[in-house]
Amino acid sequence: MKTLEGKRAIVTGAASGIGRATAMLFAAEGASVVLADIDAAGGEATAAAIAEAGGRAVFVRCDVTRSDDCLRAVETAVGSFGGLEIVFNNAGIVRRADVVETTEEEWDRVMAVNVRSVFLMSKHAIPVMVEGGGGVIVNTGSGWGLKGGDRAASYCASKAAVVNLTRAMAIDHGPQGIRVACICPGDTDTWMLHDEARQLGENEAAFLVSSAARPIARLGTTAEMARAVVFLASDDAAWITGTTLVVDGGGLA
């Protein structure tokens, strides 16, 4: 029996990185997946890869900062697969700058993509989950949502908001049969980590080496993050809600 057999899911940021890896693992574990991303080419490529592997997925172009786009993703899950039990709110961006360097527009954009998106997708998904008898929402936080980091003021603030929003949603919607949890990845080998090096004007190779400085002396992989999300979304985590799962090779320790 596959872990997510018969489940219907939405994954935001599914065109690349942790989102793509998780969407593919969801499908491999038996879920039907709506792939929501602003990157149409990447999203369609993920859908094609899932189909080639024998899974079920449909791509919907979605700007997660827009309510109507998030509603369309939920409606796609219902229309294509008949319901919705799992949402992985994963889409995110980073701006490496302190509060003086950060423009108001950059601050608003980071908060919109990283926090508003969780609010909007959950707002539209929860009524469908309640009607279907319950579900699971997994949000992507960060180690820097649990402690501070240098030159990442907007990102740290946004991910701390995601962590506490997770707790609030778990309290509100647990009685309706909905679990809400948060994964807090450490530095993972994705395009976003490479982009951080460029934003900071640092040598990419040296930056990646410094990012791997933790008890398990390497970067995380998208596959490792995906396995953690599948666990939280599965019945193996049936009594886990309102909490964070740190997956960071010991970095916070």
Instruction: Report the alpha-carbon distance of residue 118 to residue 138 in Å, rounded.
Output: 10
Other Cβ atoms less than 10 A from the Cβ of 60: the count is 21
Element (H, E) at 52: helix 40-52
Q: What is the pLDDT, as a whole number, of residue 61?
A: 98
Instruction: Report the alpha-carbon distance of residue 227 to residue 26 in Å, rounded.
Output: 9
Element (H, E) at 34: strand 32-37
Instruction: Report the alpha-carbon distance of residue 142 to residue 135 in Å, rounded.
Output: 23
Q: What is the pLDDT, as a whole number, of residue 191?
A: 86
The DSSP string of 168-182 is HHHHHHGGGTEEEEE
**pTM across the whole model:** 0.97
Q: In what order do the strands lie in the sheet with 32-37?
A: 56-61, 32-37, 8-12, 86-89, 135-140, 178-185, 244-247
Closest alpha carbon to 161 in 112, 209, 121, 203:
112
- Taking the domains of the chain in order of start, what are their residue ranges? 8-185+221-242, 187-219
DSSP H stretches of helix in 175-243: 191-200, 204-211, 222-233
Active site residues: 155
Would you state the CATH architecture of domain 8-185+221-242?
3-Layer(aba) Sandwich (3.40)
Mean pLDDT by 10 residues, the chain (253 residues): 96 98 98 98 98 98 98 98 98 97 98 98 98 98 97 98 98 98 96 90 92 95 98 98 98 95
Render pLDDT for 221-240 as a digit per residue (tens, 0 to 9).
999 999 999 999 999 999 99
The DSSP string of 126-165 is HHHHHHHT-EEEEEE--GGGTS--TT-HHHHHHHHHHHHH
Q: What is the pLDDT, as a whole number, of residue 2?
A: 94
Q: What is the pLDDT, as a whole number, of residue 1?
A: 77
